[in-house]
Structure 1
Amino acid sequence: MPANRPAKLVTITTAPTGDSDSLILSPRRLIIQCWGTDEDAVGELAETVFGHMRKAPYVTGNGIRKVTIVGTPARFDAPNDPAVRFQMTVDVLLRALP
């Protein structure tokens, strides 16, 4: 997280999912959070990111082979943070080697 959070921010946290012995493909779970100060603007940003994630397997060269939407964008409130946040959970299958 940057020290001075910009007006709009998208963060992605990733973790491996399942046991994969594949040297080629790597499953990952992405926790994607969209941050801002205006609920409508952040919600729109989250829907834009959601749309891009759904189209990701069809984009040449990005390494994403499969996308499974686990949790669609929803408001996420942190007790000690006044920022407006929407969060979604996405499982992806990434090509591990070029």
Structure 2
Amino acid sequence: MASNLDYLDPALIPLEEKVKAYLETEKALRKATEQGQNSADQRRELARLEQEILALLPTRDEWVKVNLGYGPSRVGAWHVPATTGAPERYELRVIH
């Protein structure tokens, strides 16, 4: 059984930092969209961070506990099958 303190593992720090940057960029994108600003740069940054997080995740289709500063949070990538006109991919999910 995994310990509830596994999220404090120092090996997860790079993943935690990318997830924090992803959440900040997502927040800035949402704010820019609400204000009607051009958000193309933020969308590209969000996509880049998502790919970096996917590369850092040790597993797929299950949660990884990370420390985002206020107790255990979760991040994971889930398989999304191909649909008409869209290739299969992994969808990033963050619970904070």
Scaled by the length of structure 2, the TM-score of the pair is 0.32
Structure in which a larger fraction of residues adopt helix: 2
Scaled by the length of structure 1, the TM-score of the pair is 0.32
